[in-house]
Amino acid sequence: MTRHGKNCTAGAVYTYHEKRKDTAASGYGTQSVRLGKDAIKDFDCCCLSLQTCRDPVVTPDGYLYEKQAILEYILHQKKEIAKKMKAYEKQKQTQKSDSRLESRSEERGIAERFKTRENSIVSKPINPFTSAISSGLAKESDSHSAVGASAGTSKADSSDPAAGPSSAQTLPSFWIPSLTPEAKPTVLKKPSKTVVCPMSGRPLKMNELIPVCFTPLDPSLDRVALLARQERYLCAVTKDVLGNSVPCAVLRPSGAVVTQECVEKLIRKDMTDPLTGDKLKETDIIPLQRGGTGFAGSGVTLKAKEARPVMMV
């Protein structure tokens, strides 16, 4: 391929480069981007604010948050849930009132149809002093009148709007305003009252947040000088430098951050917190979610996709 082969427009083949360029320019098709290290937060940064934590807390799933940010998130979610519940209750009241109106209209229609049928019945008194021939003629006339009355009743029922919609009324019509189909209102589902973690999607409670205590590399440095360094924190037991490529864990009783190697080689032998001396359970050792290193094997998803409309050819 020559130097300007990618931009060649006289080729007989629709190349992959041209397809990608046209896809980016047209606005159709799903776009995928390979993320670098700069697009992923560090291990000691908040998952919401993406900034270094001042007062870090960790969830039982190992996601690190700034305490103020996660509390604001929980309060915001509770307000949203209350707003959705209010809209749902309003919808329920509207549905109840609509059902009551429909039942009343049905009862009114049944009563009106009963009245029309009762008023259409015609009866004549029987004369016992007439002959059989005249009585037969009277019966025939009564039968004819009954047939006419039933026909009149059927006509009245068909003309009565409360008798029920006919097939012509049920069909949609776009040129008659009364028969034009209308969009039904969106039916709201009952919202869940549980606040979920923004990262894991599992239920989250305020009393489950565990305070985290990082061991600084140099205690004499202030926070601004500490944040300017690439290596900021140490393991509380082995004094190894912590980073994005080092698997870490948080001990629940003390909140200390130690390396996973220290957990496997030292702490799991007697299951005791080395800082406080408390006995540990398996749930007291919380693996901390790692930061991004830019490598595909770091355990962090490094591909981002944006779903856009697809044009079928």
For every residue of 267-310, DSSP letters joined together read IHHHTB-TTT--B--GGGEEEEPP---SSGGGSS--EEEE----
Could you tell me if residue 208 is inside a domain? yes
Under a CB-based contact definition with an 8 Å cutoff, are residues 247 and 259 in contact?
Answer: yes
Q: Has residue 153 been placed in a domain?
A: yes
How much is the pLDDT for 64? Answer: 93
- Tell me, what CATH number does 237's domain have? 3.30.40.10
**Quick one: 222 and 280 in the same domain?**
yes
Domain end, chosen from 109, 144, 179, is at 179
83 and 159 belong to one structural domain:
yes
Q: What is the pLDDT of residue 125?
A: 63
91-107 in b/e form (b: 16+ CB < 10 A) is: beeeeeeeeeeeeeeee
Torsion-angle region of 8 (φ positive above 0: left; ψ -120 to 50: alpha; else: beta): beta
Which residues are bridge partners to 286 per DSSP? 250
Whether residue 12 is contained in a domain is answered as no
d(CA 120, CA 173): 35
Q: Are 231 and 76 in contact (CB under 8 A)?
A: no
**Rounded (10°) angle between helices 132-159 and 67-119:** 160
Phi, psi of 58 (to 5 degrees): -130, 145
Residue 186 lies in a domain: no
Instruction: Compute CA 62 distance to the chain's CA centroid, rounded to the nearest angstrom.
Output: 24
The predicted structure's pLDDT at residue 84: 93
Residue 4 lies in a domain: no
Q: What is the pLDDT of residue 41?
A: 82
Are 62 and 85 found together in one domain? Answer: no
Is the domain of 123 the same as that of 55? no
Q: What is the dihedral of CA 7, 12, 16, 17, to 10 degrees?
A: 10
Whole-angstrom CA distances from 226 to 72, 157, 229, 263 are 26, 88, 6, 26
Cα 181 from Cα 18, distance rounded (Å): 46
- Is residue 59 domain-shared with residue 88, that is, in the same domain? no
Counting the structural domains of the chain, the total is 2
* Dist CA 17 CA 109 (whole Å): 70
**What pLDDT is attached to residue 289?**
85
Non-local CB neighbours of 190 within 8 Å, separated by 6+ positions = 88
Looking at 132, 164, 179, the residue that finishes a domain is 179
If asked whether residues 155 and 210 sit together in one domain, one would say no
Tell me, yes or no, whether 82 and 172 share the same domain.
yes
List the domain range (segments joined by +) for residue 252: 30-66+202-305
Task: Kindly give the residue spans of alpha helices, DSSP state H, lying in the chain.
Answer: 16-26, 67-119, 132-159, 167-170, 223-227, 260-262, 268-270
Contacts 24+ apart (CB under 8 A), 17-20: none
Write down which residue in 126, 146, 179 finishes a domain: 179
Strands 210-211, 64-66: parallel, antiparallel or unpaired by DSSP?
A: unpaired
User: Residue 252: which of 203, 200, 199, 288 has the closest Cα?
Assistant: 288
Maximum Cα interatomic distance, the chain, rounded to a whole number of Å: 131
Residues 81 and 174 in one domain: yes
Distance set, CA 164 to CA 117, 118, 199, 233 (Å):
16, 19, 54, 78
Q: Answer yes or no: do 145 and 227 share one domain.
A: no
For residue 311, give both structure tokens.
């044009």
109 in a structural domain:
yes
3-class SS of residue 138: helix
Per-position pLDDT tens, the chain of length 313: 455 666 666 777 888 888 888 887 887 888 887 777 777 788 888 989 888 888 999 999 999 999 999 999 999 999 999 999 999 999 999 889 988 888 888 888 898 888 888 887 766 666 666 655 555 555 555 555 544 545 454 444 444 444 445 555 566 666 777 666 676 778 888 889 999 999 888 999 989 999 999 998 888 887 788 777 878 899 999 999 998 888 999 999 999 999 999 999 999 888 999 888 889 999 999 999 876 655 655 556 677 788 888 766 5
Domain presence at residue 21: no
Shared domain for 60 and 127, answered yes or no, is no
Do 216 and 273 fall into the same domain? yes
Domain assignment present for 253: yes
Q: Judge if 207 and 294 occupy the same domain.
A: yes
